[in-house]
Structure 1
Amino acid sequence: MDRSPALPVLLALLCCCTACLAARQALAQAPERPLVLNTDGAPPHSRDDGSGFEDRIVTELFRRMGLAVRLVRLPSERALANANQGVDDGNYVRVAGLSALYPNLVMVPEPMSEFAFTAFTRDAGLKSAAWEDLRMRRTGIVTGWKLAERHLVGATQLTSVRDEETLFAMLAKGRLDVVISSRHTGREVLRTGGYKGVHALDPPLSTQPMFLYMHKRHAGLVPRLTETLRAMRRDGTLARLTREGLAGAEQ
């Protein structure tokens, strides 16, 4: 008996089973809850309501991938520790190379933003400085800022604090000579805090590309995150969200 008419039916069943298996695997890999991404970013980089320019970029990035996220602001060192230990799913934004210090973190190799490490001072005679010029001054940084820590190794009067708001309060009281901040955040703190007589040194100490890091359990997402970020750069979304997040911040 010729059974060849059954062949198309068998092929159709095989294709159906393959599609079902692929769908089940995709569901198994999808997070069952929103991904928790933490940041140490201060305004205007990050805000409690998620309207900071880096918050906007992260939210749009994962929206395009069909993934829900919950954003959490934490002190810098704790944010890194939580992401590295897997308490949270990732951390944004950081300088390149932190996987050497935090081996459970995988860097998404497309930059999300730039960070101008800027020195602020009340010393009217100080107009510019390099990292090495700060080692003999009473200098303040945020605890967990690895690039600043590396550049200021050997500093004789280095103070590390929880956040940039504390740094500027100490500067205003004369307890520090120089503080290191994001240029954007420094300007916002000066504006909202009403500090007078403080100015930024120009040029910045360093301007660095900044990256998203994911816990290694999400390493499979990194290629898609990279390509999606690149697409957002090409279509102007990164620039637009940055402008929107900065609107009014430094007026």
Structure 2
Amino acid sequence: MKVLVALLCALASAPVPGQDLQLFVIPDTPAHLEAWKTVEAAAHRAGLGVKVSALSAERGMVLVNEGKLDGAIGRTMLAASSYPQLVAVPEPIYMYAPTAYSYKKIDVSRGWKSLRGHTLCMRRGYNFTEERTAGMPRHRLDNDASLLRMLKAGGCDIAIMGRSNKEVLAMQGHDPDLLQLLPPLEEVPLYLFLHKRHAALVPRLAEALRQGR
């Protein structure tokens, strides 16, 4: 009887044949694009179809929590903690290394504490960065290009973006005064989250992610 119940639960959680899992990423985010490639490859190994949409962090998480989307790509455990209908696939899909960029030589060896006393530019909807910079003066913008423009114009002292940000690399090609301040402020794993109706797919996807290591 227990085996039958488990089988029925697994069938109920699986996508209907011919229908793909509908996932979302935050737009204009290099880390999420890399995370999507990892998830897409793992889903293929697991025999699952996946499609992705670009949505704001808050809207996407709400839609997944409501069951209107099937999952979220590239979110931290902190970002998902307020959404009780989500379950994590417990294999990281990307290691995000938030890094400080500036036109000033600033010592960041103390991590997030090093940013105190400086005005920051950061991406809107990044719960993790929000928590780490609580109480600091901040400007929230929608994409990395906007962060760099505000930083260049002097609207903030430091912009926080990923360590391997392509927007920064492109800008440094003609603006060598733009500094990447190392080490990264922290390294944090990003995960794939699914609506709980797909909980039975979690071990299958976790194994597929491990196979891709």
TM-score class, shorter-chain normalisation, is 0.7 to 0.9
**1:203 deviation in Å?**
0.4
Residue type of the alignment partner of 1:101: S
Q: Does 1:189 align with 2:172?
A: no
Aligned mate of 2:68, from 87, 91, 98: 87
**1:99 deviation in Å?**
3.7
Equivalent residue, structure 1, for 2:92: 111
Which of these two proteins has the greater Rg computed from alpha carbons?
A: 1
Equivalent residue, structure 1, for 2:4: none
Q: Does 1:132 align with 2:117?
A: no
**1:87 deviation in Å?**
2.5
**1:134 deviation in Å?**
1.8
**1:112 deviation in Å?**
1.1
> Which structure carries more relative contact order (alpha carbon 8 Å, separation 6+)?
2
Taking the aligned partners of 1:213 and 1:139, their CA distance within structure 2 comes to: 29
Residue type of the alignment partner of 1:31: V
Q: Deviations over 1:46-97 (max 9, x none)?
A: 5xxxxx4322211111112221111112233333223222232111112224
Equivalent residue, structure 1, for 2:198: 218
Residues 27 and 219 of structure 1, relative CA distance in 2, 3 Å threshold? closer
Residues 201 and 41 of structure 1, relative CA distance in 2, 3 Å threshold? farther
Q: Does 1:174 align with 2:164?
A: no
Residue type of the alignment partner of 2:20: P
Residue type of the alignment partner of 1:192: A
Equivalent residue, structure 2, for 1:143: 124
Residue type of the alignment partner of 1:137: H
Residues 152 and 53 of structure 1, relative CA distance in 2, 3 Å threshold? closer
Secondary structure of 1:120's aligned partner: strand
- Larger fraction in strand: 2
Residue type of the alignment partner of 1:147: F
Residue type of the alignment partner of 2:38: I
**1:27 deviation in Å?**
8.6
Equivalent residue, structure 2, for 1:120: 101
- Provide the TM-score with structure 2 as the length reference: 0.84
Taking the aligned partners of 1:41 and 1:104, their CA distance within structure 2 comes to: 23
Aligned mate of 1:198, from 174, 178, 197: 178
Taking the aligned partners of 1:28 and 1:91, their CA distance within structure 2 comes to: 16
Q: Does 1:163 align with 2:163?
A: no
Residues 191 and 100 of structure 1, relative CA distance in 2, 3 Å threshold? closer
**1:131 deviation in Å?**
1.2
Equivalent residue, structure 2, for 1:4: none
Residues 75 and 176 of structure 1, relative CA distance in 2, 3 Å threshold? same
**1:135 deviation in Å?**
3.2
Identical aligned pairs, as a percentage?
30
Taking the aligned partners of 2:124 and 2:141, their CA distance within structure 1 comes to: 5
Aligned mate of 2:15, from 27, 30, 46: 30
RMSD across aligned positions (CA): 2.4
Residues 75 and 163 in structure 1, CA contact (< 8 A), matched pair in contact too? no
Ranges in structure 1 where 5+ consecutive residues have no aligned partner = 1-21, 47-51, 234-251
Taking the aligned partners of 1:219 and 1:147, their CA distance within structure 2 comes to: 24
Q: Deviations over 1:174-226 (max 9, x none)?
A: 111101111112xx112334662211111000011211111112112112111
Secondary structure of 1:176's aligned partner: coil
Secondary structure of 1:159's aligned partner: strand
